């Protein structure tokens, strides 16, 4: 480590890491047709900074429930922390994610695991100033603006109780955009209203 870097405080180190950080988008969303980062991608990309800036990253989770209100959604509070290796200074960022207990096709551990993955990713994103929420829109808005008129007739209708409709719901629950779905399918008012309830 260079001499001038040993004099950096933790805020300065984090600022440099935010500037230098790059992580591959190794996962692919088949519905939205875009690549995205997972929490694992981010953590793997952070490893070189541990030695370079003499810091460590940890993620913790806390289950939050309201014992006084029936049928409340359990929430996972994820906290991403960067610590100076001197053991004194730390900076934290959090993310709060609900666990969808009504999610069909998933066992209970998968429901919590899915929420955990999202929470970790967004906590790390808050700490490192990463914004993956625009992946779908950034890809689709620009590419489809010029094609909007010519492709509108070719779009298929999205109908309820179909595999495509179920995928659309999963996509929205994962933070996707209704605009992306409208770029891919024609939506009747009743179908769109149903999808908007997911948001």
**Residue 39, token pair as written in the block:** 């929490």
Q: How far apart are CA 97 and CA 117, in angstroms?
A: 10
What is the model's pLDDT at position 111? Answer: 87
pLDDT at 199: 56
Cα 60 from Cα 144, distance rounded (Å): 40
- C-alpha span between 23 and 118 (Å, rounded): 16
What confidence tens digit (pLDDT) does each residue in 5-60 have? 457 899 999 999 999 998 777 666 666 666 677 888 899 999 999 999 999 999 99
- Using alpha carbons, select from 30, 120, 39, 108 the residue that is nearest to residue 74: 108
| Mean of the per-residue pLDDT values of the chain | 77
3-state secondary structure 56-124: EEEEEEEEECCCCCCCCCCEEEEEEEEEECCCCCEEEEEEEEECCCCCCCCCHHHHHHHHHHHHHHHHH
Structure tokens at 192: 């769109």
Cβ contact 155:53 at 8 Å: no
CA distance 119 to 57: 15
pLDDT at position 17 is 95
Beta carbons of 171 and 181 less than 8 angstroms apart:
yes
Position 84 scores a pLDDT of 93
| pLDDT, tens digit, 9 for 90 and up, residues 67-90 | 655 567 889 999 999 999 887 899
Most confident of 17-26, 82-91, 156-165, 168-177: 82-91
Measured CA to CA in angstroms, residue 124 lies from 21, 25, 150, 152 at distances of: 12, 15, 40, 38
Q: Tokens in use for 95?
A: 């993310």
Which pTM value belongs to this model? 0.59
Residue written as token pair 């590419």: 143
pLDDT above 70 for 168? yes
Torsion of Cα atoms, 178 then 183 then 184 then 190, to 10°: 50
- Given this model, what pLDDT does residue 177 score? 76
With contact defined as beta carbons under 8 Å apart, do 97 and 80 qualify?
no
Q: Is 89 exposed, middle or buried (0-12, 13-18, 19+ CB in 10 A)?
A: middle
Helix runs in 7-74, H state only: 10-20, 39-53
The domain ranges of the chain are: 1-131, 133-199
């Amino acid at each position: 480590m260079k001499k001038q870097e040993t004099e950096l405080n933790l805020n300065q180190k984090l600022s440099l890491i935010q500037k230098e950080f790059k992580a591959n988008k190794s996962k692919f969303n088949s519905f939205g047709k875009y690549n995205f980062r997972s929490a694992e991608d981010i953590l793997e990309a952070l490893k070189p900074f541990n030695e370079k800036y003499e810091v460590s990253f940890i993620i913790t989770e806390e289950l939050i429930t309201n014992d006084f209100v029936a049928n409340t959604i359990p929430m996972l509070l994820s906290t991403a922390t960067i610590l100076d290796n001197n053991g004194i200074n730390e900076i934290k960022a959090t993310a709060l994610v609900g666990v969808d207990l009504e999610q069909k096709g998933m066992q209970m551990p998968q429901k919590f695991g899915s929420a955990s993955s999202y929470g970790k990713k967004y906590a790390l994103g808050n700490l490192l100033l990463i914004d993956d929420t625009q992946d779908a829109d950034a890809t689709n808005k620009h590419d489809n603006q010029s094609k909007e008129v010519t492709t509108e007739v070719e779009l298929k209708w999205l109908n309820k109780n179909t595999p495509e409709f179920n995928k659309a719901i999963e996509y929205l629950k994962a933070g996707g955009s209704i605009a992306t779905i409208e770029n891919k399918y024609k939506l009747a008012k009743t179908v769109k209203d149903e999808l908007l309830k997911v948001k």
